[in-house]
Amino acid sequence: MRTNKITIAIDGYSSTGKSTLAKALAKELGYLYVDSGAMYRAVTLYALDHGIISDRLDTDLLITKLPEINIEFRLNASSQVGEMFLNGKNIEGPIRSMRVSDWVSPVAAVSEVRTKMVAMQQAMGLDKGVVMDGRDIGSVVFPDAELKLFLTASDDIRSQRRFDELKSKSTDLSLQMVKANLISRDQQDSSREDSPLIKSPDAIVIDNSNLTIKDQLELVLKLVEGLD
């Protein structure tokens, strides 16, 4: 096991298991895990709950409200996993809803939102020993990360994974609705002007369509050990 700490950036499309892999990797290495997507989901939840989003996103109003949005990760003592808090309230459950999923890409496309989130993310990784997942971690947040991964999987497999995750929370969902949401988010995230979802040239691509989390963890740990 290597002794010098590094920064590991994990990017990729929706529902490719970025967070699952990142959590497992951080636990194995004793690193800090940061779910950057949860940060954008927290801002989206705030916007939904404060009338900033109705049938449209009021971008100007959201920008003025950014100073009122305080988000932080707090370590759950029993699970040893960081959980997202918005203005002092645990929001791990609400931010995973389809209500938030439907709006998170437009919110994440707002440059002022991204500037605030990226600054927070970079501060979290100053001392290295961090595993962070998202859509622009290797390209924008940590362009000098020692290890960059880009996860992908087929649309059908990603949709089924997300549907299985959500179906216990809602009876109004269909697999087709979930797939449409994923494809729409991919398109929005890849085409936004500010920090689009792209694969860094030096990122290692992992198609995990047919890989278990154990397979992925073993693969990445070998990559970590193989770094100079």
Q: What is the pLDDT of residues 56-111, one digit of tens each?
A: 999 999 999 999 999 998 877 777 677 889 999 999 999 988 899 999 999 999 99
> Could you tell me the pLDDT band of residue 140, with boundaries at 50, 70 and 90?
very high
The answer as to whether 149 is a domain residue is yes
- Do strands 7-12 and 147-152 pair parallel, antiparallel, or not at all (unpaired)? parallel
In this predicted structure, what is the pLDDT of residue 195? Answer: 80
Q: Which residue do the tokens 């449409």 mark? A: 180
The answer as to whether 1 is a domain residue is no
The answer as to whether 56 is a domain residue is yes
198 or 205, which is more confident: 205
Compute the average pLDDT of residues 133-161: 94
Q: How far apart are the first and last CA of the chain?
A: 13
- In the chain, how long is the greatest CA-to-CA distance? 51
In this predicted structure, what is the pLDDT of residue 228? Answer: 67
Contact present, 47 and 53 (Cβ < 8 Å): yes
In this predicted structure, what is the pLDDT of residue 77? Answer: 77
Q: Residue 177 maps to which CATH number?
A: 3.40.50.300
Q: For residue range 83-97, list pLDDT tens digits in order.
A: 889 999 999 999 988
Structure tokens at 105: 């890409």
> Could you tell me the pLDDT band of residue 155, with boundaries at 50, 70 and 90?
very high
The answer as to whether 13 is a domain residue is yes
In this predicted structure, what is the pLDDT of residue 1? Answer: 58
Domains contained in the chain, number: 1
Pairwise CA distance, residues 201 & 27, whole Å: 27
The answer as to whether 97 is a domain residue is yes
Q: For residue range 40-56, list pLDDT tens digits in order.
A: 999 999 999 999 999 99
What one-character DSSP code corresponds to residue 68?
A: G
- Do strands 147-152 and 130-134 pair parallel, antiparallel, or not at all (unpaired)? unpaired
- Structural domain boundaries, residue 40: 7-225
Structure tokens at 220: 């990445």
The answer as to whether 2 is a domain residue is no
What one-character DSSP code corresponds to residue 137?
A: I
Q: For residue 43, give the nearest of 34, 31, 52, 30 by alpha carbon.
A: 52
The answer as to whether 200 is a domain residue is yes
The answer as to whether 165 is a domain residue is yes
> Could you tell me the pLDDT band of residue 6, with boundaries at 50, 70 and 90?
very high
For the chain, where are the alpha helices, taking DSSP H only? 18-29, 36-49, 59-65, 98-108, 111-124, 155-166, 175-191, 213-225
In this predicted structure, what is the pLDDT of residue 189? Answer: 86
